[in-house]
Structure 1
């Protein structure tokens, strides 16, 4: 089923409802939410045109360059909540980059070369959407873990204890997702495949791969970011 641009106008309804809630409860953030929605639409439209060109002109260097660009932006967004904290350091972005490169890189290589055995390995229609999915989830976990780490440190926790608590808290959404998948929700990728006509058991195998890789990439990224932050941490106790 093809969704027309006119049909997408119905999406304004839930956005308007949430905007009204923001206006009543936290008006100071209303413009940010509306800006985020507008930016989302523009970004996705531009990405759609870019992907059409990339799929028609597959190239290893271009695919890698696109992924590196996505990675740099993801790292910058990941440390966004930290910029308001007194403990924020410019080194945090580098820590996020390293965490994403290793965490996402390992899982992306396993996916492309092991599970899917895609040839060529840089096929844009596979590597770019998968990289985006892994980066987005890992980016969110990095944000949660870093923010919780500094909250625990300010509360008087030692570094090792703060890392453990931050890691556990940041992984709650991922672990909850593993428990809920199939019983409470059908994840986006699986739903999209089924709607597009893919046989359900094929969609299931793809979703198992995605869930496992997301757990791996987010877990590694969070652990690496927390180790980076603790090595640079000079607040409170140093043990």
Structure 2
């Protein structure tokens, strides 16, 4: 049975390090705090960010960021980049932050788990996050699953989505097609056929069940074509 996400966080840094109500935080100059390269979340809704900035302007940052000390008075965000961006928009000079010790691998893991826990990642961002842990840090899919509190099939299925053509990944990223539809498209294998089917899904607003029927039809038609 897979661990819960909270368990994954606790295993990485201990329960005190992830308690949002804990008071072990400091105020850091916002100009000395910077986002991580390769952070799992890459898309930020500008309208939602402005709404958060308005709230922060009135109430302040209610939950501290999680950062690590880079030395020289600078800090790198592990969790809370959206709050940091909104705080900058709101004109804040300082932000509350919890400073923890973490190497690159643990920073990446914690960023992944934090975003998964908040359901802040779209399917493509989630898949790319898993890919980073596998390719850059040499973890197996089993190890990734254990560290982020998922099952190995969940990690494997997410990473398989990255085989889709770029245009289809963009549709998945923006929510034009669902993860279930994207998974069904993978069985077509041919990039051109996948792109054409994806356009049909968006145009007709097909459900996953309808997508499965469409894929079956495309494969059947391809099999019936005379070979040259």
Larger Rg: 2
- Structure richer in helix, relative to its length: 1
Whether TM exceeds 0.5 here: the answer is: no
- Structure richer in strand, relative to its length: 2
TM tier, smaller = under 0.3
**What TM-score results when the alignment is normalised by the length of structure 1?**
0.20
**What TM-score results when the alignment is normalised by the length of structure 2?**
0.21
Higher RCO (C-alpha under 8 Å, 6+ residues apart): 1
